[in-house]
């Protein structure tokens, strides 16, 4: 993506931040999976009060659920998926796996 020349100190910070970003992205998938499971098992009308009790609104919860449902989402590519908006993620999910993986690895959606 970027061919910047970084100092040793910049590289250390960048690596540490990237590792944290990866952990956060993986946790977004896990959170989405937990929300899917809760929604599946709770009775009708129980899901909304439950998510509100933990400080989530429906739109935010829906975003986590959508990420977790993507068939293209794996632990190895989850960080790269953060470069794409929801519309692009849906298009990627509809593509052939090999084509989607090339785009995901590049971090740039074709125009």
d(CA 40, CA 42): 6
- Quick count: other Cβ atoms within 10 Å of Cβ 73? 22
d(CA 80, CA 62): 20
More confident residue, 43 or 106: 43
- pLDDT value at residue 13: 95
Could you tell me what percent of the chain has a pLDDT over 70?
97
- pLDDT value at residue 2: 60
- pLDDT value at residue 7: 93
Question: Mean pLDDT over residues 22-38, rounded?
Answer: 89
Q: Residue 54's closest CA among 68, 72, 35?
A: 35
Question: Mean pLDDT over residues 21-39, rounded?
Answer: 89
- pLDDT value at residue 69: 81
């Amino acid at each position: 993506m970027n061919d910047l020349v970084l100092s040793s100190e910049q590289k250390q910070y960048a690596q540490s931040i990237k590792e944290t970003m990866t952990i956060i992205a993986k946790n977004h998938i896990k959170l989405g999976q937990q929300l899917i499971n809760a929604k599946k098992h709770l009775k009708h009308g129980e899901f909304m009060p439950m998510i509100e009790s933990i400080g989530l609104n429906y739109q935010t919860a829906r975003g986590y659920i959508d990420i977790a449902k993507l068939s293209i989402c794996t632990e190895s590519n989850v960080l790269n998926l953060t470069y794409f908006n929801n519309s692009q993620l849906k298009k990627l999910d509809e593509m052939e796996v090999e084509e989607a993986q090339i785009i995901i690895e590049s971090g740039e959606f074709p125009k």
